[in-house]
Structure 1
Amino acid sequence: MSEQTFDVIVSGGGLVGASLALALARQGREVALVEPNPPALAGLEAGWDARIYAVSPQNQAFLASLAAWPGAERIGRIASMDVRGDLDGRLVFSAAEIGATELASIAENRWMLASLWQAIRQSDIVVIEGQRARHFDSDVRQAKLTLDDGRILKAALLAGADGANSWLRREAGIAASVKSYGQSGVVANFACERPHGECARQWFLGDGVLAWLPLPGNRISMVWSMSDSARLLALDDAALADTVARAGGEALGALTTMTPAAAFPLRLIRPEHVVRQRLALLGDAAHTVHPLAGQGVNLGFQDAAMLAASIGRQGDPGEWIRLRRYERSRREAVLTMQTACDGLFRLFHQPALPGLARLRNTGLSLVNHLGPLKRQLARVAVGF
């Protein structure tokens, strides 16, 4: 039975796990990346990926420092945001108000993954693919991961970036509270009749939240959080485009469907801890948030950046004091974002309470006229 020893083992080669592996390798750490299904790097130009992310300037800089930011030809840009309540409330703010060039960049999942994995393939990272972990154990000195083929990997630290349904989180006995929103996030891409003007548009619809995010050219990506996702998924391309256009008040004229609609369940996940002896969780394994603010992947990238910073270039990467430093550094940012998104969801999903709809829409419009508060919201959006 073969054994290999590393400084750090990263379990999960999605966006967050891949970025952590690269950051640690650039610090001179010996890293193994365990990913059963690495992404394909060919054929990226064919079509568009319905899974897109609004990446903050801070995280764009983090990926650029890893030589893993995609080329500009597939990147959209959010210069402003237009948020509408379910009555007449409205909040509009722009990057220019805070002296920034953009609020976020819009990037497709597969293009970011490909950029990260191209850098990984050119690095000293040991990639273990086609294998899943079947047992995890740790003691005061090291973590041990046993793979399907019987191989044993050992390291001073095991980093779990294996998603919201984290096997590692369960295997380590870390309890997590899971709250279902009773909704799914439906995603699809569309060509639009009129230019989007690099403006991200969002509507609180009472029974859901609809967002249109600007892609390059006259294209948008939609994320629609709703309880009746089956209704949208059953529509043909023409009916889907018409339904989405009408839900957004035909703000960009007629739409044409570019990618089929897909849906994923929405849950709020809060583990009791994100570190254990020789183990650290990050990304969706450590937290999920409602997508109405588009901050899930940004929190994950900052997990990776902060964990790499806590580990450093020298010394024991799994030392308890380093893991506690990482946990403390992320607690406030994650809790703040989860609380804000959860609060907004509940606020705009209480239609039966008398006067609440008018109150929440008035509050939205009030913020729109309070310059300092509105600028602070814009700074939060870009990670300042």
Structure 2
Amino acid sequence: MAVFDLIIVGGGLAGASLAVALRDSRLRIALVEYQPPRRVGGENAGWDARVYALSPANVEFLRTIGVWKHLAAERIAPLRAMQIFGDQGSTLNFSAFETAVPDLGCILESSLMACELWESLKRQSNVQLFLGQKPVAQRIDADTASLHLADGSILAARLLVGADGRDSWVRETAGLPAHNRPYGEKGVVANFACAEPHHNTAWQWFRADGVLAWLPLAGQNISMVWSAPDALAEELLQLSPQALAARVAAAGGHRLGELQCITPAQAFPLRLMRVPRTVAPRLALVGDAAHGIHPLSGHGINLGFQDARELAERLLAAPAWQDIGELRFLSAYQRARREETVLMQSTTDTLRRLFASPSPLLKNLRNLGLGLTERLPVAKTVLVRYALGAL
């Protein structure tokens, strides 16, 4: 049996960033991951279809843990402005200039961050990696959490962290309930080269056939996320690259001229997932194992990174005598993360329901709300500064 202070199951963005954030701690860490990340097609490949919009607060988190400086700057696009369109001509505009900040955030590829986090992990003396391994059993005792791996290895620690995604094996095995509500939609993602410069602006359209977003990538490229009903999503996936580019360009009013598809379209099912309890004795959840939200806000990975930041800060501040698996200690982490998570889940779910409704009354109200917010600078500033992590 190998004994550690902390076992992290799942080496995605949230789990890996937690381990890296603890690089200067006295904690001995085991990280279990079946399939480590890799750059699609190698280091000189084209664009990863999965990209994220990082808030400035999470850029600072990655900078603090020493990862940001190693990311390829030429693959990062600063977000300077955002335009949101209702389905009756109403608009809402945000800009970094009006908010008196350099950027509203950054757009970058998932695999870019994941691979750099793993490079940091490989150099980290207090982390032991268990690669190509799946856990097959876990046991929580009064003093220890133990994990049995498929190769027969047994790991033991004072704290077990589930960072293994929405279908978390750790969460399910521990008996922590997750309440799922499928949206009947898929998030269709693809990247495009565009004929016109995007000027580091993001666009989002609330349409009768879902929510369409264009995010600026480095160079004259964009990433598309179309949260579409299942039938439309399947239709989009079946289109040729040329037909998909034409469809997406038309849906966005040809705002950036002709588009050219540079990554194949992919799709993932969308659902709201609420996890009432994200901790238990000797157990804590982070990232998608702890929550799931609609992608229209772009906050999914931001919530995950903030989970990792909060838990890491508490572990780093804990005195040597503190039992880091004690429920009282972990409950403080749960309380600290609950407000932001519930707020973002409720907000995105309400917006999605509001704009998905065919009711003429709701259609008028939602477009009136967008237009009214556009004319209230104080309200706009509050919204933007919350998204920046400045509130």
Asked if Structure 1 and Structure 2 have the same fold, meaning a TM-score greater than 0.5 normalized by the shorter chain, the answer is yes
Q: CA deviation at 1:169?
A: 0.7
Q: CA deviation at 1:54?
A: 0.3
Is 1:77 matched with 2:78?
yes
Matched to 1:96, the amino acid is F
Matched to 1:183, the amino acid is E
User: SS state of the match for residue 106, structure 1?
Assistant: strand
Q: CA deviation at 1:319?
A: 2.2
Q: CA deviation at 1:24?
A: 2.0
Q: Do the aligned residues in 2 keep the contact of 1:25 with 1:31 (CA within 8 Å)?
A: no
Matched to 2:64, the amino acid is S
Matched to 1:382, the amino acid is L
Is 1:382 matched with 2:388?
yes
Is 1:334 matched with 2:341?
yes
> Normalising to structure 2: TM-score of the pair?
0.96
Is 1:344 matched with 2:351?
yes
Deviating more after overlay: 251-260 vs 307-316: 307-316
- Once superposed, what is the RMSD of the aligned Cα atoms? 1.1
Query: Cα deviations across residues 281-315 of structure 1 (Å, max 9, x unaligned)?
Result: 01000001000010000000000000111222533
Matched to 2:144, the amino acid is Q
Q: CA deviation at 1:26?
A: 2.5
User: SS state of the match for residue 252, structure 1?
Assistant: coil
Give, in whole Å, the separation in 2 of the partners of 1:32 and 1:25.
12
Q: CA deviation at 1:149?
A: 1.1
Q: CA deviation at 1:130?
A: 1.0
User: SS state of the match for residue 101, structure 1?
Assistant: coil
Give, in whole Å, the separation in 1 of the partners of 2:386 and 2:98.
13
Give, in whole Å, the separation in 1 of the partners of 2:160 and 2:59.
25
User: SS state of the match for residue 312, structure 1?
Assistant: helix
Is 1:169 matched with 2:167?
no
User: SS state of the match for residue 5, structure 2?
Assistant: strand
**Residue of structure 2 in register with 1:4 after alignment:** 2
Is 1:357 matched with 2:360?
no
Query: Cα deviations across residues 339-382 of structure 1 (Å, max 9, x unaligned)?
Result: 0000000000111x232212211110110010000011111221
User: SS state of the match for residue 133, structure 2?
Assistant: coil
**Residue of structure 1 in register with 2:281 after alignment:** 277
User: SS state of the match for residue 88, structure 1?
Assistant: coil
Matched to 1:55, the amino acid is L
- Identity between Structure 1 and Structure 2 (%): 49
Give, in whole Å, the separation in 2 of the partners of 1:354 and 1:253.
32
Aligned match for 1:13, one of 1, 6, 11: 11
Give, in whole Å, the separation in 2 of the partners of 1:148 and 1:262.
31
Q: How is 1:33-44 mapped onto 2 (pairs within 5 angstroms)?
A: 33-40=31-38, 43-44=42-43
Aligned match for 1:317, one of 318, 321, 324: 324
Query: Cα deviations across residues 118-169 of structure 1 (Å, max 9, x unaligned)?
Result: 1001112100001100001111211000000111100010000000000111
Give, in whole Å, the separation in 1 of the partners of 2:246 and 2:80.
26
Q: How is 1:19-168 mapped onto 2 (pairs within 5 angstroms)?
A: 19-40=17-38, 43-69=42-68, 70-124=71-125, 125-168=127-170
**Residue of structure 1 in register with 2:379 after alignment:** 373
> Normalising to structure 1: TM-score of the pair?
0.97
**Deviation >6 Å, runs of 4+:** none
Q: Do the aligned residues in 2 keep the contact of 1:188 with 1:259 (CA within 8 Å)?
A: yes
Q: CA deviation at 1:67?
A: 1.7
Q: Do the aligned residues in 2 keep the contact of 1:280 with 1:323 (CA within 8 Å)?
A: yes
User: SS state of the match for residue 195, structure 1?
Assistant: coil
Give, in whole Å, the separation in 2 of the partners of 1:27 and 1:317.
13
Aligned match for 2:186, one of 168, 181, 184: 184
Q: How is 1:239-254 mapped onto 2 (pairs within 5 angstroms)?
A: 239-254=243-258
Q: Unmatched 5+ residue regions in structure 2?
A: none
**Residue of structure 1 in register with 2:290 after alignment:** 286
Query: Cα deviations across residues 250-285 of structure 1 (Å, max 9, x unaligned)?
Result: 111110000000000001111120001100001000
Q: Do the aligned residues in 2 keep the contact of 1:75 with 1:107 (CA within 8 Å)?
A: yes
Q: Unmatched 5+ residue regions in structure 1?
A: none
Matched to 2:191, the amino acid is N
Q: CA deviation at 1:40?
A: 2.9
